[in-house]
Structure 1
Amino acid sequence: MNISENIIWHETTIQKRNRQQLNGHKSCVLWFTGLSGSGKSTLANAVDHLLFQEQYRSYCLDGDNIRHGLNRDLGFSTQDRKENIRRIGEVAKLFIDCGMIVLTAFISPFREDRELVRRMFAEDEFIEIYLQCPIHTCEKRDPKGLYQKARKGEILEFTGITSPYEQPANPEMMIDTGVLSIEESAHHILTYLNEKKIL
């Protein structure tokens, strides 16, 4: 989509660095990706809770929640999945400009789409967190009953069953949620943020 030549970017008086200084920490996006049932939403919320307890400014964007509002017009075709992730990237970028830490919990199955979002941010602002969890473990958990429906053919284009999931090539973090507990995983992520001097 081409942007009209009549639309001009307006620079704001308060810049990202000013908001980061006010918040007392850097801003970044923690991009949780993995199969349904791998623990993305649960872990993102656990990290968000820890950040909140330490008085860091953060916000969690969840895949299902976003589809209730902003992306309610999108389905699950390849093109709609791409648009879903593009929009989330743009929303996450607004949070980054606000000087906040934004946690996104989306399957985001295609490597190309995740890389497109990565290019929206500065090098140290996009942290891809791959929740590596065997599909049989995800299917055993099946908190929403989606795998069972997919196996019955009631859900088409379901990631991991009838639609592919492309693992990240070089994620900043890889967490085996089939082995580590949510608490262990959350603290592991906070340790990473401290080591990278984001907090």
Structure 2
Amino acid sequence: MRLPPRFALVPIVALAILLISGCLATPSPTGKNPNFPHDAPAGGQTFAQMEESIAMLPGIVTAEISGYEQLNLQGNTGVGIDLELDPGYQIVDGPALLTFLIESAWSVREGYMPNTSISVSFSTDGDFDVDANVYAYEAGWDDELQPTERSEWNFGFSRANVWLRNIGQDTQGQKNLLRLGQWPGPVPEVPQGAIIPRK
């Protein structure tokens, strides 16, 4: 049966999309796209090991980690680490804590290497004196102090994006990559005393 002209174009368009996105590349043994770094044979740590090290931090109620599994159509992927803090604890060394989390994300050898950003967020139901953007600035992950929005919807929430590629004229992304080094990076030590009980 001959398809009407508009339907005959569908397979051609679909093929073009696959070619543009790189989805027709022969999959690696892991099923990942071989055109992008993924599943390093050695170095760093596993995803489960990273989860275990983050769980060692005091005062963490939940830790949700996303990323590593798939690319978008442009071949990009990032990592997100979302931590909920126990209201009975407070962060006293934010730069050290943020650096630990960023380096932990970079040290995971499983899945795709993040190539856009590593974002870290903090939330709590109690007193909120956390500013992730200040931590990123003081730790040298951002060359400019980004504004922190406060509203009734996000007062108990703060997020910092650490870029792994340059944005416009800003070269901080390249600086961050040089600082992190080869992927996967070394496993960072859990910072002691970065989170303590409130008095």
Higher helix fraction (1 or 2):
1
Hey, which of these two has a bigger chunk of strand by percent? 2
| TM norm structure 1 | 0.29
TM-score (normalised: structure 2): 0.29
